[in-house]
A and B are shown apart, each in its own frame.
Chain A
């Protein structure tokens, strides 16, 4: 199915179209990351409906749009977004491979302090893995850490 010409269409309307027309895609990839020394490892799970949008192309805005909005939100006098048009009027991303979609999602949903310096320091702060590589039970979930063996 071809994506309609969506540039200039509100992102919410595009997502409505995708919800109606695209089959969700369940990715086996998971992103494990640590963004605080006081907390356990976190596991990012891609949403199947979002993955379908990424693989289809022509729906999602470029990731830099989210970064621009985050910069605005970080301003001390922020009250509401005034550049929301970036989400709707910027040319949408073309179709991505599953791996490209995961990279995009990391840059969108994982804190920048993690993905920009994930392999600096004494041990890795982030790892991409398959679902099967995660512990099979949630025992001691609040003590999970990324294995030091990944630092090699």
Chain B
């Protein structure tokens, strides 16, 4: 690395301080914006090694850096008022399977914009 800053706390001009661990722990450890139509494709991402198209509105994300356990938080939205769920496939420390489920039709749907962010501790 070209440079390094080592600091245990961050302090504002007003004197309020916060541990840097709050910043590190609060950062998204993986994220992706992908197109779920046509041949699905990532627009941009971080710490994702691949996405697998499992069928209509059904996608598996696989991570480059494993999480410490499978109890991480996954935020997923794809707009259009659809709800989004984990499938019955339990998430693992290296992969999560997600569904874009449209409550209006009761079916999974392919969406143009799929936005996913994951928070948790890394292995």
A and B: interacting chains: yes
A100 vs chain B, min Cβ distance (A): 15
Assess the B46–A49 pair: CB atoms within 8 A: yes
**Size of B's binding interface in residues, CB under 8 A:** 38
Please provide the chain B residues from 87 to 123 with a CB less than 8 Å away from any CB of chain A in the complex: 92-95, 110, 121-123
A-B contact count (CB 8 A): 116
Interface string of A6-40 (1 = CB under 8 A from B): 00011111010101000010100010000000011
Residue B54 CB within 8 A of the other chain: yes
Name A's B-contacting residues (CB within 8 A): 4, 9-13, 15, 17, 19, 24, 26, 30, 39-40, 42-50, 53, 60, 66, 69-70, 73, 79-81, 83-84, 87, 105, 108-109, 131, 134, 137-138, 141-142
Instruction: Sample 14 A-B pairs with CB under 8 A, ordered by A number.
Output: A4-B1, A12-B29, A19-B46, A26-B41, A39-B55, A40-B55, A42-B52, A43-B53, A48-B42, A49-B42, A81-B93, A81-B123, A141-B55, A141-B56
